[in-house]
Structures are given as C-alpha cells and as structure tokens.
Structure 1
C-alpha cells in the first residue's frame, strides 16, 4: 500500500535542517540536540511499528467496507467530501485524546517536548494505532469511502500538519487564519498554560474549533510542554510513561469507579483531588472553560 508519509520523509529532514540552520543564524536557538534526537527516534519508531499497525487498520477498514451503506466511488467530489469527513473525524479523535486518559496515554508523546520546531512534528506515538485509535475512522468505510482512500486521506492530513510545527512563521493572512490550521493556532495547542490547554485541536480546518467552542487565538508566545513535564530524553520512557502511570493508578485505586476513571476519565483526574484536570487548572487560573 502506498504510504505518503514514507515518501515525505526526505522532505521532512530537508525542511528540518533548513529551519535548524535558520534558527542558528538568527540566534533563536529553537533546537536542542537531545530533544531533537528524541523526537526523531519517536518518529522512526512510529513508522516501524505502524508497518504492523496500519495493516491492522486497513484490514479492519476492508472488513467494515464489506457492509458499506453506499458505493461512493472515487470521483473528485468524493475526495473533497472525504477531506472534510476525515478532518472532522480527526478533530474529535484529537479532542478526545486530550479528554480521555486512555487516548491521552498515546497522544501525550507528541506534547512531551518543551521545544516547538519541525522535529516536534515527528515526535509521534508508538501505541496510538495498536491501542485502537484507527477505530474512530471506521464509520468512513461503512459509509462507502474505499479503505485505501481513507488511509490516503489520513496521510494527507498528517502531511499538512508537519509545517505548522514551527515558530519561524508568524501570522498568515486573516482569511487563511480563519479557515485553516496554522503555526499560530497550533502553537496554542502545544502550550502548557491553563488559558491554552486543550484548545485548537484542528488537523487542517480550524473551522471545527470555531464551531465547537475550542478555539483560542495566540496572543503571546506560549510555554510548551506538559503541565507536569517528564524531564527525560529516553524514547522508551517518553513512549510508555503514561501507560505505566495508568497501571499504577488503577492498581492502587480504592474502588472500581476510581479505577475506571483513572483509565477513561480526563487526564489529571484523581480520586483524592491531589491532581488537576485541564478544566480545573483553567478554573483555578480563572480563564474561560
């Protein structure tokens, strides 16, 4: 199966090197060697693991497609419709990956860097596909989109998101900022500050955040990372630290309800109130929910 991400890897590396050189020439020092190597290692691991994970996803999509409601075909209008359907799905998957700890355990990897540059885009999960994240897209082959089209559009969505992981681009024209996800919007998403937490979940179209009330504009340079940074460059700790924390919390939960909430509740939830969710942090900081 054609995987656009694999073909784009040389371009990723070239653009990363250009940004690195530019950041040094302008003395912005956007890169840290250990952080960048960690991000690249996570990206390589993601590609290798997804040789299996994507096969699992594609097989599942083909199974679902056997029971499709319509035969939508491959015309241009179907591709355009799929573009919006895929991005709508991505928005909700991404948003829930910030609101459900089981999903956050995979997605936290992408937010674990305290730097924001093109290498951060490559800091990808090793567990997202294998833990079932692809199931959010299963409604698309059921509706009638061909599985290969679905997988291709998922790759296109990820390709688009590469370039928005940069501080070298400031604001773009207002019309573009209104419709599309941009570096400015996505810098907000990677912030650890309460006013920016769990905002701007868009893949390609920022319209979803505007429509569903999760949009916040960038008004100053964000502080990147997690609300509680893990302070490690070890790729295995980056990949699995939240899963290990979940296991520990579930094992020590005082009752079944608490165990379930430690797994499927919001990140930061605790039965004794010693930790804080994003909503609680925003309330404490007195910013809009």
Structure 2
C-alpha cells in the first residue's frame, strides 16, 4: 500500500517538479463523486418536500463551492512551496519506520482520528485556529455543499502540525495526508439533513449526520460538541458528545453575512488582529491569539460591528 502511494507520488512530482499534497490530489479526484452525491441529495429532499436549503438558495451553494475550490487550489500551491518540505523535515527526525499495510492501517487510522479530534477541538477553542475554521461554520444551511465550505488559511495557521505524531512514528507525510483525505471524504457525507438517524450501534461508534448537525449548531447546548471526523468515541470518552434533540439552528453566534470568499476567509483574522492592537498590557493583548474565540479582556469592550462568531 505504502509502496504504491510512493510510486504515484514520485510520478506526480516528476510531472509537476514540486512536492505534491496527496490529500488535495485525492479530494480533487473525488470531486465528481461529491458533486454527484450533492445532486442526489437535492433530488431526495425535493421529492420529500424538504428542499428549503436548495429552493432559491443558489448563491449560498455557489459560495460553498467557490470556497472549496479556492481551498483546494491554495493548499496545492502552499504545500508545494512550503509545507511538504516542513513535513518531510519532521519525518526525517522520525523515531521509527512504520509500514502502512493490512496489519497497521486500522490502528494508524484510529491514531489519525485522535489527531484530528485534537486539531478540531483546538480549532474551536484557540482563536488562532478558529480564524480558519470559522469559515466552515459560518454557513446557515446544511447540505452536502456545506462540506465544501473550507478556508484557505488552514495550512497557514498550521493544521498539519497536529498530524506530525504519525510522521514522527515513521508514517510518510504523503501517506499521512492520504489517510487524512479518506477521513475528510467520509466527513463530506455527514453534512446533510437527508439522513435522520442510523442504527444505534452506528450512532454509538461513528460520526453520523445527526452528530454533525449538532456540531454545526449555534444552539447554546450544542456549541463546541461532537468534534470527531469518522469516530464519535473520543467525544464520548472526553465529554464533548451531545445528542441531537431539539431542531438545529446553523451558523455562528455572531453571524457574518457575506458571499464574498475573501471576506469569509479573512474576517475573523482581521477582527483578532484588531483586538490585539487595542491598547492595553502586551500580555493581555497577545492572549487574543490563543484564548477561546469568545474571550474578552477584562474591563474592555469591543467596538460595535457586524454580528460574527
């Protein structure tokens, strides 16, 4: 398995002349499947008379797709120029050499899922990482197109750092990113209202559409819950699980209302830097970078502005 991946990577690198982001190569290859699934979802919801997120909602859907395309293109470039070299530097300092085969793929994927859980939870609780992740949550509709709503800032804020434990164990960066692509591909299909509840054992072990609707909610009892990508077990173990009970209201607490992909990518980062630049003790100002998104300095008030998260 790993040898095949390495051969494909070498072939692509010979063609491009640059290191390739296997994650984005796989996701781009799966894009026709994603678009086809979105079309099927639309037809199913239309037949049920539950097409409120489709009927007359062309602009939000196009915005989601534009954000997804920008995310894929930007990551291909910055990984080729910067971050694949950084990941290979980490890999060069690995402690072991772990082959990816039929015996190791499941435990390695579970470890990757744990890394994703930590990354995802940090993306909600540390503002620096929230600056990128907020793009995904600012959509107020839930369709499969919402999964395409991604930020160009993920690489720049350092998402890949959370997956370096696999590289230090001896999994190549290309194989690590390939497994992450499988994780993200699974996640695409949980961004929907077309599936209500799955069998109990599936709901107990795996992330389902019901779980992920909760994750996208701004209802107070649902905020910062259900961080898993493929498995929901880490949420159950670490106290971040919530069952879908009442209807979900999608979006962020202080909603930004725009279809401009530059605005959507940069608004939270700009707001964070404005908070850092406001007068006050340097340590308190810098804390805006690593404090939770909702944190405010004692005795200060933010300048009134648009409702955002």
TM-score (norm 1): 0.91
CA positional deviation for 1:253? 4.0
- Per the alignment, residue 280 of structure 1 pairs with none
SS of the counterpart of 1:130? helix
C-alpha distance in structure 2 between counterparts of 1:225 and 1:274, whole Å: 24
User: Structure 1 residues 77 and 253, CA, compared in 2 at 3 Å: closer, same or farther?
Assistant: farther
> Which deviates more, 147-156 or 161-170?
147-156
> Which deviates more, 157-166 or 245-254?
245-254
Instruction: Answer whether contact 1:93 1:136 (CA < 8 A) is retained.
Output: yes
User: Structure 1 residues 54 and 154, CA, compared in 2 at 3 Å: closer, same or farther?
Assistant: farther
CA positional deviation for 1:257? 2.3
Which digits, 9 at most, give the CA deviation of each residue in 1:51-108, with x for residues without a partner? Answer: 1233333322222122211111232122112101110000000001000000000000
- Per the alignment, residue 207 of structure 1 pairs with 233
CA positional deviation for 1:273? 6.3
**Where does the alignment leave 5 or more consecutive residues of structure 2 unmatched?**
1-8, 10-21, 303-309
CA positional deviation for 1:4? 1.3
- Per the alignment, residue 129 of structure 1 pairs with 155
Task: Flag as ranges the 4+ runs of structure 1 deviating above 6 A.
Answer: none
SS of the counterpart of 2:156? coil
- Per the alignment, residue 22 of structure 1 pairs with 44
**Where does the alignment leave 5 or more consecutive residues of structure 1 unmatched?**
276-289
C-alpha distance in structure 2 between counterparts of 1:125 and 1:188, whole Å: 21
The answer to whether residue 74 in structure 2 is matched with residue 44 in structure 1 is: no
Equivalent residue for 1:191, pick from 206, 213, 217: 217
TM-score (norm 2): 0.86
- Per the alignment, residue 154 of structure 1 pairs with 180
SS of the counterpart of 1:76? coil
Question: How large is the RMSD of aligned CA atoms in angstroms?
Answer: 1.4
